[in-house]
């Protein structure tokens, strides 16, 4: 998500994790371990790219004590494929936004080249499956915010050529052709050019990502797209009333489109009490956040890590309600009840948000499998949520693009 833009202010300081010490990786049942290991586990949204770009001390191959993921913790959590978010603040537009996005794409591609035993670039569902079969983690890319095409379909095509496989139509602010869920409506959804962007994405085989967009933009995109769409990192508004989350009507429409909602683990999207409290937060917290923002300057990796630290510190002090990790399960279960088992997946927002207590990093992912099995989900159902559903959508989007290439 990137927190600098959450209503203009950030949320909290991540308390020393010892305060919420969990039993190391969290023991799961042998059956959960078996189901989790056999599944292809896909996470459709992490902001770790900001660390690659801004944090010169960050080594993705080492087990870090900060942040939410790296290769060792992805391995431990059985994560087989990760979409690295290419994210530039919506305040940055035009050629500068394109330049910065290109720099991040280069950083992801370079990281993959530097770790060939662990990572491999993937652009299709088949490549994800092949990577998993070869015990390598598939690295994919999504551009988080349509402002990064600078109103140019040629730039969109360039991103596709470089391997980007989804684009979130907006970020926290409206762009010139689409309204965002966290800005004042300016276009009544998608403009005619915005509709052309959706058509071009269908043609290119890029998934249309409706996380962050205004409800009207979502319905406009659904009316235009010929392929299933995704919400790469959104949760359920029926549980946490945040405009970034999806209403039940949206979930039903997404299911009808054949798409998938990838549940976001951010505390303010999972928990209504946390959302309300954090939006009303005290002057102290606001002051702490302003100080943090100043300290970090334009370093987005710093902003994110410090933001999570602030939030967790506030949870430990009781200034914000503590959000337990199994809130993720409540959102998955709600989305399954409303949209169906074929339309739900995982889009953590790791390294870009405040993780709930007990899901501090990617090593904890098997807990989700364990909890769903305990709730009565079958192994087959859980496998769909872990990655089967998003792979199905990728294949459908690829088929649609192949049809477009052949022409009418």
Give me the least distance between CB of 234 and Zn ion, in Å please. 9
Q: CA of 214: how far to CAs of 89, 279, 303, 328, in Å?
A: 17, 20, 25, 23
In terms of CB distance, is 169 or 386 closer to Zn ion?
169
Give me the least distance between CB of 4 and Zn ion, in Å please. 11
Residue owning tokens 């010490």:
21
Q: CA of 117: how far to CAs of 120, 203, 258, in Å?
A: 8, 33, 35
Whether 261 and 335 have beta carbons less than 8 Å apart is answered as yes
Q: Where are the alpha helices (DSSP H) in 280-347?
A: 283-296, 300-317, 327-339
In terms of CB distance, is 231 or 357 closer to Zn ion?
231
The helix (run of H) or strand (run of E) holding residue 140 is strand 137-144
In terms of CB distance, is 85 or 363 closer to Zn ion?
85
Q: What is the DSSP string of 356-395?
A: PBT-SSGGGTHHHHHHHHHTT--HHHHHIIIIIHHHHHHH
Give me the least distance between CB of 168 and Zn ion, in Å please. 7
Give me the least distance between CB of 186 and Zn ion, in Å please. 20
Give me the least distance between CB of 144 and Zn ion, in Å please. 6
In terms of CB distance, is 210 or 339 closer to Zn ion?
210
The helix (run of H) or strand (run of E) holding residue 160 is helix 153-161
In terms of CB distance, is 53 or 382 closer to Zn ion?
53
Whether 367 and 358 have beta carbons less than 8 Å apart is answered as yes
In terms of CB distance, is 1 or 131 closer to Zn ion?
1
Cα 187 to Cα 178: distance, rounded to the nearest angstrom = 6
Give me the least distance between CB of 351 and Zn ion, in Å please. 11
The reply on whether position 148 binds Zn ion by CB under 5 A is no
Whether 226 and 207 have beta carbons less than 8 Å apart is answered as no
In terms of CB distance, is 189 or 347 closer to Zn ion?
347
Give me the least distance between CB of 48 and Zn ion, in Å please. 13
Cα 194 to Cα 169: distance, rounded to the nearest angstrom = 9
DSSP letter at 61? Answer: T
Q: How many residues does the chain have?
A: 408
Q: What is the DSSP string of 188-214?
A: SSB-HHHHHHHHHHHHHTPEEE-TTB-
Q: Tell me the per-residue interface mask from 1 to 40 with Zn ion, x by CB under 5 A, - otherwise.
A: x---------------------------------------
In terms of CB distance, is 35 or 105 closer to Zn ion?
105
Give me the least distance between CB of 5 and Zn ion, in Å please. 8
Give me the least distance between CB of 212 and Zn ion, in Å please. 6
CA dihedral in degrees (241, 309, 145, 404; nearest 10)? -90
Residue, CB closest to Zn ion: 1
Tokens of 276: 């309300």
In terms of CB distance, is 191 or 211 closer to Zn ion?
211
Q: What residues line the site for Zn ion (CB under 5 A)?
A: 1
């Amino acid at each position: 998500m990137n927190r600098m833009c959450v209503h203009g202010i950030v949320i909290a300081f991540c308390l020393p994790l010892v305060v919420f010490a969990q039993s190391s990786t969290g023991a799961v049942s042998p059956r959960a371990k078996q189901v989790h290991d056999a599944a292809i586990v896909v996470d459709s949204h992490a902001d770790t790219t900001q660390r690659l770009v801004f944090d010169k001390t960050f080594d993705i191959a080492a087990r870090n004590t900060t942040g939410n993921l790296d290769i060792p913790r992805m391995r431990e959590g059985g994560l087989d494929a990760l979409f690295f978010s290419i994210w530039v603040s919506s305040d940055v537009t035009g050629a500068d936004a394109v330049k910065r996005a290109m720099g991040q794409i280069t950083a992801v591609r370079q990281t993959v080249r530097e770790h060939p035993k662990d990572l491999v670039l993937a652009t299709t569902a088949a490549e994800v499956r092949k990577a998993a079969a070869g015990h390598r983690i598939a690295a994919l890319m999504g551009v988080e915010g349509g402002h990064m095409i600078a109103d140019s379909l040629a730039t969109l095509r360039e991103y596709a050529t470089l391997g980007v496989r989804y684009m979130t139509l907006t970020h926290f602010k409206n762009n010139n052709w689409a309204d965002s869920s966290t800005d004042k409506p300016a276009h009544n959804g998608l403009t005619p050019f915005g509709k052309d962007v959706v058509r071009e994405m269908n043609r290119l085989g890029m998934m249309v990502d409706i996380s962050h967009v205004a409800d009207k933009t979502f319905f406009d995109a659904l009316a235009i797209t010929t392929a299933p769409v995704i919400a790469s990192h959104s949760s359920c508004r029926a549980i946490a009333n945040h405009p970034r989350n999806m209403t039940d009507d949206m979930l039903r429409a997404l299911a009808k489109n054949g798409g998938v909602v990838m549940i976001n683990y951010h505390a303010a999207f999972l928990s209504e009490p946390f959302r309300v409290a954090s939006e009303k937060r005290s002057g102290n917290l606001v002051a702490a956040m302003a100080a943090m923002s100043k300290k970090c300057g334009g370093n987005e990796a710093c902003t994110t890590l410090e933001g999570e630290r602030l939030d967790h510190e506030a949870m430990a002090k009781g200034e914000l309600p503590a959000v337990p990790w199994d809130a993720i399960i409540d959102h998955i279960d709600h989305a399954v009840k409303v949209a169906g088992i074929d339309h739900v997946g995982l889009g953590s927002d790791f390294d870009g948000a405040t993780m709930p207590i007990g899901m501090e990093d990617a090593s904890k992912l098997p807990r989700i499998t364990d909890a769903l099995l305990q709730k009565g989900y079958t192994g087959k159902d859980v496998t769909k949520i872990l990655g089967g559903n998003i792979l199905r959508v990728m294949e459908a989007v690829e088929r649609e693009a192949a049809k477009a290439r052949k022409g009418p």
